[in-house]
Amino acid sequence: MSGQSDPRGSTFSAAELEFLAEDETIEIVPNLRMERLSLICGDFGPFRPQIATQVPIWLAVALKKRGKCTIRPPDWMSVEKLTQVLEAERDSASSFEALPFHYVEISRLLFDDARDDIPDVYMVRSLIEDIKDVRFHKIGTGLEKLSSRTYAMKLNLSAMEVNVIRPFVTGGLETFYKLGNPELIQESERPEHRRPQPADRGPRRELRR
Amino acid sequence: MESGSDKGTGGFSAMDEYETLISTTDADLLKRSWRNEKAAPEILQFESSLVQRSREQIQLMEETVGEFMQNGEDPLTVSLYQMDIDRTVFLLRSYLRTRLQKIEKFMFHIQKTAGLWSRLSRQEQKFAKRSIEDMKKHLEQSVLSKLPDRYKSHLKQSVISEEDDMVTEPKLDSFVICRSRKFLGGLPVDDSGEENPLDMYAGDIYALRYKSIKPLIESGQLDLV
């Protein structure tokens, strides 16, 4: 039965998550003069040299690639803040620090295209890697608590973390739900006069009359 | 809407927050519908007016870009507008394609369930009808016509089946991951008889059974992520 389900069916791909993260806004300092942009996703600008403005990340990266702006990394992406976060993550065995929903994707995007705008980029990068590792370790430990009593599981995690554990969590909860649900089991055991068989393919028995 | 005169520091940011809460753009709505559609096990209501509006916006923008090019507008500006169009087109396409995949997968189930059939757009219904005919014909020609009489249905295993047991149905018992927009108190997530309601605060993410939260997704209080 488990072989039939499609565990990847509803998952987002990494590229799709990055796409979503690109809509988050970020501050840039343009070095060009450009009129206001009235885009489908909102109005941005006008752009004046040295005057900071908020734009979606995809727009920031597009300008950055052409050398038309510098990107101001978000507050949480400083060595100081990240060190605090990492310490707090290590101190607590079960709770997670508040980070932006798309922190993994945003930091990836900025590391790829705006390295020179991030102070202490190597340090920042390794701190984010460490935070990711610590969190994943905790997530793994947390998943051991999953049981047949679990009807709701709190996952206040980031988009990428949620996406990575999705197949396992939803699959596991589903299996527990099925096992813990009397009606679903009764249904496959109802025909008592038949010899016990692998109980997973109820309807197929009809063929064997 | 008195925000123009209200430049006080504290009041202004509260106002700003309120504005972002109420003013949701079509781009945001489309993104939300796309996410929900991708993550829900069954097909959701077709967002016909949203799709219509998005189409018109895309068309309008394409015309604008055409004019820009003719007027010799700065190529950078043009390319930024083009990127914005491309992103919206991608979302719209992926949304429609996700729905087509679900229709292909559950076509017989959708056809016989009136509540689901009415969720499809007219074009989708046309597509579903044709897929159903083709699939039926294919099954009959390749297998069913060669089987004994009692096994000839493409919906049932044999004539003695009471239900249509060869029809793929979406698993509404499956778990989905969702995020709440605002505080939701006393959600009945546990139908085992034990009273165990769940309180969800804004921004909380939970893995829950799709069936138990279905109405909240349809009313837009919960988002699938």
Residue % of chain B over a pLDDT of 70 = 86
Q: What is the pLDDT of residue B7?
A: 36
Q: Average pLDDT for residues B25-43, to the nearest whole number? A: 93
Which residue in chain A is spatially nearest to B53 when comparing CA positions? A40
Distances (CA, A) of A99 to A39, A85, A164, B122, B185: 28, 9, 17, 43, 25
Q: Among B39, B209, B225, whose Cβ lies nearest the Cβ of A159?
A: B225
Domains defined along chain A, listed by start:
14-185 (3.40.5.50)
Confidence of residue A73 (pLDDT cuts 50, 70, 90): very high
**Weakest-pLDDT range from A53-62, A86-95, A164-173, B10-19:** B10-19
Tell me, yes or no, if A93 comes closer than 8 A to chain B by beta carbon: no
Residues A44, A54 contacting (CB under 8 angstroms): yes
Q: Is the ipTM beyond the 0.85 threshold?
A: no
Q: Average pLDDT for residues A17-43, to the nearest whole number? A: 95
Confidence of residue A199 (pLDDT cuts 50, 70, 90): very low
DSSP states along A18-62: HHHHTTSEEEEEESS-BPPEEETTEEE--B-TT--EEEEHHHHHH
Which residue in chain B is spatially nearest to A68 when comparing CA positions? B76
Confidence of residue A155 (pLDDT cuts 50, 70, 90): confident
CA-based nearest distance A74→chain B, Å: 19
Q: Does residue A27 surpass a pLDDT of 50?
A: yes
Tell me, yes or no, if A23 comes closer than 8 A to chain B by beta carbon: yes
Q: What is the pLDDT of residue B21?
A: 52
DSSP state of A72: E
Q: What is the pLDDT of residue B78?
A: 96
Q: Angle A103-113/A159-180 helices, nearest 10 degrees?
A: 150
Asked if CATH classification 3.40.50.1980 holds for the domain at B24-168, the reply, yes or no, is no
**Weakest-pLDDT range from B64-73, B157-166, B191-200, B216-225:** B191-200
Q: Among B41, B57, B80, whose Cβ lies nearest the Cβ of A62?
A: B80
Q: What is the pLDDT of residue B19?
A: 46
Q: Does residue A206 surpass a pLDDT of 70?
A: no
Confidence of residue A107 (pLDDT cuts 50, 70, 90): very high
State the residue for tokens 């009692």: B150
CA-based nearest distance B206→chain A, Å: 4
Q: Does residue B194 surpass a pLDDT of 60?
A: no
Q: What is the pLDDT of residue A97?
A: 86
Q: What is the pLDDT of residue B199?
A: 87
Q: Does residue B195 surpass a pLDDT of 60?
A: no
Q: What is the pLDDT of residue B95?
A: 96
Q: Does residue B160 surpass a pLDDT of 90?
A: no
Q: Does residue A184 surpass a pLDDT of 60?
A: yes
- Tokens at B153, concatenated: 């249905």
Q: What is the pLDDT of residue A156?
A: 85
DSSP state of A153: E
Q: What is the pLDDT of residue B192?
A: 55
Surface of A (176-195) touching B: CB under 8 A: 177-178, 180-181
Residues B43, B106 contacting (CB under 8 angstroms): yes
CATH number belonging to the domain at B171-225, selected among 3.50.50.60, 3.40.640.10, 3.90.79.10, 3.40.5.60? 3.40.5.60
Most confident among A61-70, B19-28, B155-164 (mean pLDDT): A61-70
Tell me, yes or no, if A42 comes closer than 8 A to chain B by beta carbon: yes
Residue A70 forms beta bridges with which residues?
Answer: A29
